Structure 1
Amino acid sequence: MDNDTTLLLDLDGLAVARVERLEDGTRRVHLITADEQARACPECGVFATRVKGSATTRPRDLPYGESGLEFRWHKRRWWCREPGCPRRSFTEQIPQLPAGPRITMRLRGAAGRRIRDAASTVLQAARDLHLSWPTVMDAFRAAAHEVTQAPPQVKVLGIDETRRGRPRWEQDPATGKWMLTRDRWHTGFVDALGAGGLLGQVEGRTVADVLAWLATTPLAWRNSIEYVAIDMSTTYRAAVRTGLPHATVVVDHFHVAQLATKMLSTVRRRTTAEMRGRRGRASDPEWKARRRLLRNREDLTDEQFATMWNALLGEGRIGQRLLTAWIAKENLRNLLARAHTGADRHQVGDARRKFLTWCADSDIPEVRQLAVTVDRWWPEIEAFIDTGHGNAKSEAVNRVIKLVARNAFGFRNADNQRLRTHCVTTRRARGHLRTAQL
C-alpha cells in the first residue's frame, strides 16, 4: 500500500510512512524523507551527520479524488558540520518542496499554467486549487516569464489600438458641459503574417509610446520587418516612418471600406435632416434602404437591387444623393478588390481614376472628402493592393483582449492586464513551437 501510494503521489524524495482516514473521509498521508540529498546543507553543500531535532510540516499538493489528500511531512533538522558555514542548522528539503514554501512546486506550476495556457481567471484558479489570490498570481507571473522573452522574427508587423476600460465623462459645474476626463488605450504589436500572436503591448497610442516599445526590441529584429499593417492612423504612420524607416506601411482594406460605409451613412442622415427637417423615420424610403445601401453589390440579388434603386430614384434629390454616394462606395470597393484578382498596374490605375473622377464630379462634400482621404493614403493603399497584407490578425487579437478583460470583470492593474492578454493571445504560437521541437 505504501509503495502504491508513493507511486501515486509521484513526489521524488519522499516515502509514505502510513495513511489514515479521517472522519470526514479525507486521507491523511504521513511522509518521511527518502532522499539522501536532503541532508546536504543548502549553503555549503556538505552532508550533515548530526540531528538537531524534528519538525512536521503540512505541504499542499494538487487535489486528488473527491475526498482529497492531506499531507504530514515528518522531517529532521540537522546541524551543519562545516565550521566556516554561516548556516548553523537547516531542515530537510527536496526539489518539489524547498524550504519555506508550503505548496509543492507542481501545484504552483499547475496554478500558473491554468491562467497562462487555459485562459482561466486568477480567482477561478484559486478556488479550484484552494489557494489564495496572491499565491496564484505569483505562480502565474513565474509561468509567464518564458512568454515575455524576445519576440519571434516577423516579416509583417501589425499595429492597432484597443481601449482599456470605459471612458469617463464628468460634468463641469460651471458650464454644465460634459468633458472626457479619462480615455485609456493600449497599443498592440502583432505578427500579422505568421503565428506569433501578440508580440507586445504598451499603454497609450502616441508616437512616443510606439517608439518606446520598438526601442526595447533588438536592432536585428526591427531590421527584419518588411511591412507594417495599420489602420488609417496618422499617429502610427508617423511612428513607423521614424522607428522603422525601411518598412513599407500597408493600410488594411477593411478600414478603407469602413470609411466609405461611414460616409454613406453620414450622407443619408444629413440629407434627411436638410430636406425633411427631421430625423429619418421607418416610413422614409431612404430609411428602408439603409441596410441594402451598406451591403455589397454582389451580395444583393437583382430583385433586391432593383427595389432599392427604383425606390431611391423615385424620391428625387434625396435618392440621387444616396445613389451617388453608393456608387462612390462601390467604385472604391472595386479598386480594393484588385488585390485579390491579381490585376496589373494599368487596371489598378483605371479603377483609381474612375473612383476619383466620380467623386470629383459630385457636389456632395462627404464624397469629395472620401476621395481626398483615399488620395492622401494612396501609397499605403497601393501597398495593400500589391501585397495583400492586412491587419486582420490585429483585429482578432483585439477581440481576445476584450474577452479577457470581460471575463476578469475589468483590470485595475495595467501591467497584469498586459501580461494576461500576452499569454492568452500567444497560446497558438507556443503550440507551434512545441510541435516544431517534437
Structure 2
Amino acid sequence: MYDATSPAGFTCPDLNKFARLDELGLEVTGQRLEPDRAVLACRVVEPDQWCRRCGCEGRARDTVTRRLAHEPLGWRPTMLVVTVRRYRCTGCGHVWRQDTSLAAEPRAKLSRRGLRWALEAIVCQHLTVARVAEGLDVAWNTANDAVLAEGKRVLINDTTRLDRVRVIGVDEHLWRHTRRGDKYVTVIIDLTAIREGTGTARLLDMIQGRSKQAFKTWLAERPEAWRERVEVVAMDGFTGFKTAASEELPDAVAVMDPFHVVRLAGDALHRCRRRVQQAIHGNRGRKEDPLYRARRTLHTGADLLTGKQTDRLTALFADEQHVEVEATWGIYQRMIAAYREQDRRRGRELMVNLIESVSHGVPKTLTEIITLGRTLKKREDDLLAYFDRPGTSNGPTEAINGRLEHLRGSALGFRNLTNYVARSLLEAGGFRPPLHPRS
C-alpha cells in the first residue's frame, strides 16, 4: 500500500522550482512572510562579469536591488527583491549591472511569471484588472498597463493573425451607455473555424462607428491578397454592411443571418398585433386583452407549443377581428419552419416560396407583411445563400457580443475606447497565454 508519508517519490523542498524562479534565472537567498504578502530575496544566477564594450573582465563594484511583483503563491501576493551586482571594467572603466532580462522586461514592475499569471487570470479565468492587481499587490494602472502592453505585443501586433481568415462576420456593438459621443462600434469576427468545424469564433477587430464607411475603410486597409481570400461575409439586415462588403469584397458571398431574418418577421408580427389592438380597443394592450395575453405565445414556434398554448391561439384566431394577426403569424411560422428544416435543399425551397408569396398579391391591409416582403425580396440572394453554405451564421458574432457585454459589466464600464478594444481582443480574440508545465 502506498504511504504518502514515506520519502519514496518525494524530493527535498526546492523553493526555486516551487516559485518557478529557475525559469527567470534567479535563485532564492531568503524569505520573509508578512501578514499580507511573501517577500523572497533573490540573486541573479549568471555572474555576467565581462565588459560589453571592450570584453575585459570586470570587478565587482556594488549591488542594487530591483523589486518585482511575482505570481501569487496560494493567492498570497509575492514580491521578489532581486539583488543585482554592478561591475566596473578593469580596462575601459565602463560600469554595468547583471542582465535581468530573463526575469523581467527593462523597467518593468512585474516579473515574467507575474505577467503570465496576470494574462491567464484575465483571459482564461475572466478576472477583472482590479482583482489581478490585488493578487499581485500592485496599483491598478501598473497591472493594466503591463497586461495591455503584453497583449498588444503577442496578439494585436501579430502580423499572422489574419492569415487564415476565409469567413468573417460583422455586427454593431454598444460599448457604452452615454448621452454624448459615439456609443457604437463595429465588430469584425473570424468565423472560419466555425465553418470548418475546427474551433470557435474569434474577434478580429473593433472599429469606432457603425456605418458603411467605417466597415468599408477597415476592409480597404487590409492587403489585397487578404481581401481576395475572403469567401463569405455573414451580417444582419443593415444595408451599409452589405454595400461595403460588395464594394471591397466583390468576390465574397454575403449571407444574411437567420437570427436577424426571423427577427424581421417577428417584428412584423409584433407591429401587426399592436395595430390591431389599437384598432379594436383604442388603447395599448392590457392584461385582460386576448391579443396582449398571447403576445409571447405568438412568437413561439408551432412545433414547440404546449397544449394550453395551442388552445389559446385557437381561441384567439376564432375571432374574425384577429384575422390579420393570424395571417402575419402564419408567415412567421413558415419562416421558422424553413430554417428548421433538416434538408437544406427543402428548406431553401420553402424560403423561396415564402418570399414569392409575400412579394406579390398581399392585401393592402397587411402593411407589415408588405414591408417585410419588400425587404426579403431585396435581400433574397443573401437569405438563400445561408442554405447553400452550411455552418455560415452570424450567431457566433452575437455570442462574442454577449461576452463583451459581460466584460464591460465586470469592469463597471469603460471610458477609453482604446483600452476597451485591447481588453476585448484579449477576451475574445482567440489569445491563449502559453502555459508552461510546472517543474
Q: Measure, in 1, the Cα distance between the counterparts of 2:297 and 2:261.
A: 19
Indicate the larger mover: 2-11 or 405-414: 2-11
Counting only pairs closer than 5 Å after superposition, residues 238-257 of structure 1 correspond to structure 2 as: 238-257=243-262
Within the alignment, does 1:153 sit opposite 2:164 as a pair? yes
Within the alignment, does 1:215 sit opposite 2:220 as a pair? yes
Q: Measure, in 2, the Cα distance between the counterparts of 1:167 and 1:99.
A: 39
TM-score normalised by structure 1 residue count: 0.83
Within the alignment, does 1:89 sit opposite 2:98 as a pair? no
Q: Do the aligned partners of 1:115 and 1:122 also contact (CA within 8 Å) in 2? A: yes
SS of residue matched to 1:223: helix
> Which runs of no fewer than 5 residues in structure 1 stay unpaired?
169-180
- 1:265 corresponds to which of 261, 270, 275: 270
Counting only pairs closer than 5 Å after superposition, residues 21-36 of structure 1 correspond to structure 2 as: 29-36=40-47
**What is the count of residue pairs matched by the alignment?**
411
Q: Measure, in 2, the Cα distance between the counterparts of 1:254 and 1:400.
A: 18
- 2:417 corresponds to which of 411, 414, 418: 414
Shift of 1:302: 5.6
Q: Measure, in 2, the Cα distance between the counterparts of 1:281 and 1:26.
A: 61
Q: Measure, in 1, the Cα distance between the counterparts of 2:343 and 2:190.
A: 21
Q: Do the aligned partners of 2:129 and 2:140 also contact (CA within 8 Å) in 1? A: yes
Q: Measure, in 2, the Cα distance between the counterparts of 1:324 and 1:26.
A: 69
Please name the residue that 1:4 is paired with: 14
> What is the RMSD computed on CA atoms of the aligned residues?
3.2
Shift of 1:362: 5.3
Shift of 1:102: 4.7
Q: Do the aligned partners of 1:112 and 1:141 also contact (CA within 8 Å) in 2? A: no
Against the structure 1 CA distance between its residues 396 and 40, is the aligned structure 2 distance closer, same or farther, given a 3 Å change threshold? Answer: farther
Shift of 1:68: 6.7
Q: Do the aligned partners of 1:159 and 1:236 also contact (CA within 8 Å) in 2? A: yes
Q: Do the aligned partners of 1:339 and 1:387 also contact (CA within 8 Å) in 2? A: no
Please name the residue that 1:172 is paired with: none
SS of residue matched to 1:77: strand
Q: Measure, in 2, the Cα distance between the counterparts of 1:29 and 1:344.
A: 66
Please name the residue that 2:6 is paired with: none
Instruction: Give the share of equivalent positions with the same residue, in percent.
Output: 25
Q: Deviations over 1:211-269 (max 9, x none)?
A: 22223333222211111110000110011011111111111111111111111111111
- 2:398 corresponds to which of 368, 391, 395: 395
SS of residue matched to 1:228: strand
Please name the residue that 2:197 is paired with: none
SS of residue matched to 1:112: helix
Against the structure 1 CA distance between its residues 256 and 248, is the aligned structure 2 distance closer, same or farther, given a 3 Å change threshold? Answer: same
Counting only pairs closer than 5 Å after superposition, residues 324-363 of structure 1 correspond to structure 2 as: 324-337=327-340, 340-343=343-346, 349-357=352-360, 360-361=362-363, 363=365
Q: Deviations over 1:15-53 (max 9, x none)?
A: 444x365786977654444313x3244x53835422333
Q: Do the aligned partners of 1:191 and 1:393 also contact (CA within 8 Å) in 2? A: no
Please name the residue that 2:368 is paired with: 366
Aligned partner of 1:162: which letter? H
Q: Do the aligned partners of 2:77 and 2:135 also contact (CA within 8 Å) in 1? A: no
Within the alignment, does 1:49 sit opposite 2:58 as a pair? yes
> Which runs of no fewer than 5 residues in structure 2 stay unpaired?
1-10, 194-199
Q: Do the aligned partners of 2:176 and 2:413 also contact (CA within 8 Å) in 1? A: yes
Against the structure 1 CA distance between its residues 369 and 398, is the aligned structure 2 distance closer, same or farther, given a 3 Å change threshold? Answer: same
Against the structure 1 CA distance between its residues 192 and 337, is the aligned structure 2 distance closer, same or farther, given a 3 Å change threshold? Answer: same
Q: Measure, in 1, the Cα distance between the counterparts of 2:335 and 2:14.
A: 72
Q: Do the aligned partners of 2:338 and 2:348 also contact (CA within 8 Å) in 1? A: no
Q: Do the aligned partners of 2:172 and 2:185 also contact (CA within 8 Å) in 1? A: yes
Shift of 1:71: 4.7
Q: Measure, in 2, the Cα distance between the counterparts of 1:200 and 1:25.
A: 40
TM-score normalised by structure 2 residue count: 0.83
